[in-house]
């Protein structure tokens, strides 16, 4: 493991999955199905930039004990064994996927994918929910999932541009490092289901609000303006968040925000050059 690797796992070991097996899970494919599957009844997202990833970092012991107590665990990552495994590096720089070494890419690919729709109480299991309704919330966001991983000290990577095909209006997903070479990375969360339930406990105590959306990175024209987030009308026939990130496809098409994503007509239209006047010469034969 390279110490300077900004998206690498925060522990060396990872647990085998027992209750949720993702080897054949369609959600775990390394591509955006909304762009590649022509049979999906979803709008095709616009071209997206290359993947940029950032790692969950640091911990907040004031919240973590309550989460583990709520799950019925007697121990928590606050014990001596867990703290001894914490990395010393703080605030590492973000890394572009294309700049990773082969070993880094291998470790990145081994991480399990978590989408916001896994925690959406409005959805059925067929529609993307992965936990019982009592563990789920309204309007889950990927950034809040990353915050939960930081608190729980789960190795995690944030991919803000990736979307689930059934949740195309809510961009963002998180990769979690639950195993490495068949060894556990977390002393308490031994399965993916346990990790999802722990994340869900954090989401329930940190609900999505308009302020939380405003605090997320977005187009400078929106962040520096007086624009305030509001509920987005859900497209007919789909179950979507009514509160979405500022770089959501739904907000990009919203009349109040479209100007931040699209160039004005004056910028896009090329000036029309005046036609050159052709001088006609008429010859008269005598």
Q: Please give the pLDDT value at position 280.
A: 58
Q: What's the pLDDT at 59?
A: 45
Q: Is residue 226 part of a domain?
A: yes
Has residue 122 been placed in a domain? yes
Any domain includes 241: yes
Q: Give the structural domain span for 149.
A: 102-260
- Which residues on adjacent β-strands are paired with residue 96? 52
pLDDT of amino acid 72: 56
Report if residue 62 sits inside a domain.
no
Residue 87 pLDDT: 38
pLDDT of amino acid 64: 57
pTM check: above 0.75: no
User: 172 in a domain, yes or no?
Assistant: yes
pLDDT in the model for residue 4: 35
Residue 81 falls inside a structural domain: no
- Inside any domain, residue 34: no
Total of domains in the chain = 1
Task: Confirm whether 153 is domain-assigned.
Answer: yes
Ranges in the chain, pLDDT < 50 = 1-26, 29-51, 57-59, 75-93, 257-258, 260-261, 264-268
CA distance 128 to 53: 23
User: CATH number, domain at 182?
Assistant: 3.30.56.30
List, for residues 195-214, the tens digit of each pLDDT value: 999 999 999 999 999 988 87
């Amino acid at each position: 493991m390279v110490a300077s690797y900004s998206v690498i796992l925060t522990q060396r070991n990872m647990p085998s999955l027992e209750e949720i097996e993702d080897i054949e899970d369609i959600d775990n494919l390394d591509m955006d199905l909304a762009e590649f599957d022509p049979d999906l009844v979803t709008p095709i997202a616009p071209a997206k930039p290359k993947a940029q990833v950032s790692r969950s970092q640091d911990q907040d012991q004031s919240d973590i004990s309550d989460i583990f107590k709520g799950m019925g665990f007697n121990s928590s990552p606050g014990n001596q064994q867990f703290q001894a495994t914490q990395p010393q590096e703080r605030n590492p720089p973000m890394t572009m996927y294309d700049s990773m070494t082969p070993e880094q890419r291998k470790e990145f690919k081994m991480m399990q994918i978590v989408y916001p729709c896994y925690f959406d109480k409005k959805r059925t299991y067929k529609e993307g929910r992965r936990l019982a309704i009592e563990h789920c919330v309204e309007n889950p966001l990927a950034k809040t999932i990353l915050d939960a991983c930081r608190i729980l000290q789960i190795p995690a990577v944030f991919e803000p541009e990736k979307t689930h095909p059934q949740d195309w209006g809510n961009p963002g997903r998180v990769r979690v490092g639950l195993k490495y070479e068949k060894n556990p990375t977390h002393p308490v969360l031994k399965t993916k289901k346990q990790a999802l339930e722990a994340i869900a406990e954090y989401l329930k105590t940190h609900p999505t609000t308009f302020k939380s959306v405003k605090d997320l990175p977005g187009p400078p024209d929106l962040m520096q303006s007086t624009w305030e987030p509001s509920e987005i009308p859900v497209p007919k026939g789909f179950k979507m968040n009514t509160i979405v990130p500022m770089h959501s496809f739904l907000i990009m098409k919203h009349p109040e925000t479209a100007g931040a994503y699209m160039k004005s007509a004056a910028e896009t239209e090329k000036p029309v050059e005046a036609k050159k006047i052709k001088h006609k010469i008429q010859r008269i034969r005598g």
